[in-house]
Amino acid sequence: MLLHHRHIQGEDLKRGACLDWFDGLMARPAQVSFPGQKQRMRMRGTKHANDATAKRLGRQLRQLLEDPDEYLPKMTWKGRLSWGRKDPVTKTLQDLRKIVAKKDDVKWLSKRMLAKRGDPVGKALAGSLHAAHDEEISLVGNFKSPNFGSGSFIRRGDGKQGYLAGLQNHQNLTLRMLPWEEHARKGMYFFSWENGFVCTGPNPNPPQGWLDDVLDRSRFDFKHENIDGVDVYVAGEIQAKDVLNSTPSNQGWVRLMFKHGPILGIDLQSLKATKEKQSAFVHHLALSMLPPLLTSIVDIDAMWVPSGWNADDELPSSAQEGLAKLMGGWHGLTVPEGNLTRACERAVLDSLDFGLLIGSSWSQGDSIEQILHSLEGMQGSEDEKLLAAGVFLEAMNQTSEGIRIDSRGGRQEREGSLVEVMQGASLTDAVNALWDDFGLAGLESIGIEGDEAQIIWEQQLKKPKPLKTFLKGLDSSRKKAQQKAKFPYRIGVLPGAVGAIHDLVLTGLLEGPGIAERQATSRHEDIDDAAAGWAWLRAANRSTGQEWHFESLARDRGGAWMEATKTLLEAGKQLLESEENDGTKFVDALNALHTSTGQQEPLPDQSKA
């Protein structure tokens, strides 16, 4: 029993030692020193002030203590609210003057900053003035707001953190308005700029000097002109008079028309340079007033027309509606400023319902010459553009629905009857997308017509080539097309064995005997097809060593057709070499072949071939 007791005591001693060792490893709470206090826990949300922060905050607090009225808003409105009531800002300012009168009475300030009743701004001012009497700044709070900014401050009293930060960081033109947010919710307007901080009461009337300061602090370089008594500010490559007179421009601009008179214009290319993390200009403008309701002081609109648009013609109403919607999105920060330029252009382009649109260049499209002018900015030779112009003109004249060629060369429908080639699509993309329906008209525009054009159109449709390659080989294509046009029937038109022999004869004469030989010895659908192949091989003297491709029945039947096939082949050679297009002998030889084969199905009329 004694041994057992000693064993338990030993275990307890070991456990106690382990716990002491574990406690030694545990991190202790951060301990800091406050003026006049020792070993006290640091409050959450505070940090040790570095030298720069301590000096800056100390300087701002001394300035606030020396002249508190300098950093409070000036009330410029002299009116009264309904029923003769005094406005809330004036009431608060009267209360703050009592606190300012006691700014050196630390004991009184201590009571006021902790008072359960009283104006919240007054509590924050009393706490800030109390902190201004500190000889040393060691701990500060760090206030952050997505709209008002951030700043270090000394926590003192029961004042709201944002109010304390706003009063102590009175050099921050946006943050210093925060203590007055409740007054703004009650309909009071505040404007803050480098040389002033005022309240204009319930009337949002920007004071003189406010707009100039806001523009100077923006990232844009504004130029100022006074035109007929109107102050006009413009940034970018636009003219003040154009913005004032709403002159259509393919440079484009957004316009802010302030209700107190000035007009502001920024060209769309300048807005396009806005980086993703940069604050929008309207955000910068709104944060210089409280409440940040820009629509209370300014009307915003935009203007952009495509190159080639007649300045005397109004844009469709849907374009104006689209631009107005985008301006609302810009003001509401739902449309990124860097995307605004392209969005405005797209809103206008999508509203157009007639003509030809090449990228952002518009044309009425009434003639080849107009279309060629629109194509000046696209890559391609004169011949390529001439061919494309013929295709586009035919598309505009014949289509009843809009056509859009996207940047990948895909063809889509769009509203209206406009033909659009989007930016990024090449001439080859556009022409190939429209070739099936309007390619013949393009060939006609470069002087190729009739059967010759039909043959070349079919070749390009089956195996599309880049325009440069297509036009480069056009001489040989035209020669081949002219040769094909001499024959009364095209390949693939005639049925049965006669048709198979006819196609092999034309292929051998036009494409070469090697290609025809490969076709003749390839897999056959039936005995007549095989016999046709053997008949051509015999007639063209290319049958040696090819017997194994054919059954004996096919060779016998093809041998019986060989003479008629040879006559057809010779007639074809003569027609090809002749300068005239008289195909009578060829047709006679074809009829003789038809008789020789015993084919029941008649040959079609040449007019339908």
* C-alpha span between 261 and 87 (Å, rounded): 27
Q: Which of 437, 467, 483 is the last residue of a domain?
A: 483
Mean pLDDT of 156-180: 94
* 404-413, 442-451, 582-591, 600-609: segment of lowest average pLDDT: 600-609
Q: How far apart are the first and last CA of the chain?
A: 122
Torsion of CA 449, 405, 403, 329, to 10 degrees: -160
Residues 368 and 452 in one domain: yes
The reply to whether 460 and 498 lie within a common domain is no
Residues 345 and 214 in one domain: yes
- Determine, yes or no, domain membership for 412: yes
Distance of alpha carbon 410 from alpha carbon 586, whole angstroms: 44
Residues 52 and 148 occupy one common structural domain: yes
> Residue 595 belongs to what domain range?
487-608
Residue 130 phi/psi, 5-degree rounding, is -65, -45
Which among 495, 427, 412, 498 has a CA at the least distance from the CA of 464? 427
Q: Would the pLDDT of 390 be above 70?
A: yes
pLDDT of 15 > 50? The answer is: no
* Structure-token pair, residue 388: 């494309």
In the predicted structure, residue 275 carries a pLDDT above the cut 60: yes
Say what the pLDDT of residue 576 is: 86
385 located within any domain: yes
Give the Cα separation of 210 and 298 in Å (integer). 14
- State the pLDDT confidence band at 3, using cuts at 50, 70 and 90: very low
* Mean pLDDT computed over every residue of the chain: 87
453 confidence band (pLDDT: 50, 70, 90) = confident
DSSP for residue 260: T
Least confident of 22-31, 451-460, 544-553, 591-600: 22-31
Specify if 203 maps to a domain: no
Whether 274 shows a pLDDT value over 60: the answer reads yes
Same domain, 405 and 337: no
Is the domain of 500 the same as that of 603?
Answer: yes
Domain count, the chain: 4
Q: Is the pLDDT of residue 34 over 50?
A: no
Q: Which of 139, 160, 179 is the last residue of a domain?
A: 179
Query: Which range among 114-128, 335-349, 545-559, 567-581 shows the weakest confidence by mean pLDDT?
Result: 567-581
HEC assignment per residue over 76-124: CCCCCCHHHCCCHHHHHHHHHHHHHHCCCCHHHHHHHHCCCCCCHHHHH
**39 pLDDT higher than 70:** no
Name the token pair of 412.
Answer: 């889509």
- H or E element, residue 199: strand 196-201
Neighbours of 306 (CB within 10 A): 22
Q: Which residue has the higher pLDDT, 462 or 12?
A: 462
Give me the mean pLDDT over the 246-256 stretch. 92
- Which of 3-7, 62-66, 223-227, 453-457 shows the lowest per-residue confidence on average (mean pLDDT)? 3-7
CA atoms within 13 A on the CB side of 470: 28
Residue keyed to tokens 């033109």:
173
Residues 517 and 505 reside in one and the same domain: yes
Q: Tell me how far apart the alpha carbons of residues 104 and 332 are, in angstroms, rounded to a whole number.
A: 45
Q: Is 196 within a domain?
A: no
Are 326 and 373 contained in the same domain? no
Given this model, what pLDDT does residue 11 score?
45
Say if strands 223-227 and 196-201 run parallel, antiparallel, or are unpaired.
Answer: unpaired
Secondary structure class of 303 (helix, strand, coil): strand
Q: In this predicted structure, what is the pLDDT of residue 609?
A: 53
Sequence-distant (≥ 6) Cβ neighbours of residue 390 within 8 angstroms: 368, 441, 442, 443, 444, 445, 446
Stretch 368-375: mean pLDDT: 87
Question: Which amino acid would we find at residue 60?
Answer: Q
Mean pLDDT of 421-426: 90
Quickly state the pLDDT bin for 45 (edges 50, 70, 90).
low
193 by DSSP, 3-state: which?
strand
Q: How far apart are CA 118 and CA 98, in angstroms?
A: 12
- What is the share, in percent, of the chain residues with pLDDT greater than 90? 56
Residue 471 pLDDT grade (very low, low, confident, very high; cuts 50, 70, 90)? confident
Average pLDDT over residues 353-362: 89
Give 578's contacts (C-beta < 8 A, 6+ positions apart): 486
Please state whether 364 falls in left (phi above 0), alpha (psi between -120 and 50) or beta. Answer: alpha
Please indicate, yes or no, whether residues 471 and 388 belong to a single structural domain of this protein. Answer: yes
pLDDT for position 44:
59
Task: Report if residue 121 sits inside a domain.
Answer: yes
Q: Tell me the average pLDDT across 464-492.
A: 81
Question: Quick check: 321 pLDDT over 50?
Answer: yes
The residue from 483, 500, 515 where one domain ends is: 483
* pLDDT at residue 326 is higher than 60: yes
- Residue 442's pLDDT band (boundaries 50, 70, 90)? confident
Same domain as 139, residue 47: yes
Residues 393 and 448 in one domain: yes
Residue 226: count of CB within 10 angstroms of its CB: 10
| Residue 428 placed within a domain | yes
497 and 472 belong to one structural domain: no
Share of the chain above pLDDT 70, in %: 91
pLDDT at 43 over 70: no
Cβ–Cβ < 8 Å for 80, 90: no
Spell out the alpha helix ranges (H) of 289-381: 317-331, 340-351, 368-374
Cβ-contact 177, 192 below 8 angstroms: yes
Peptide bond into 262 cis (omega under 30): no
217 falls within a domain? yes
Instruction: Return the structure tokens found at 123.
Output: 């509590």
21 located within any domain: no
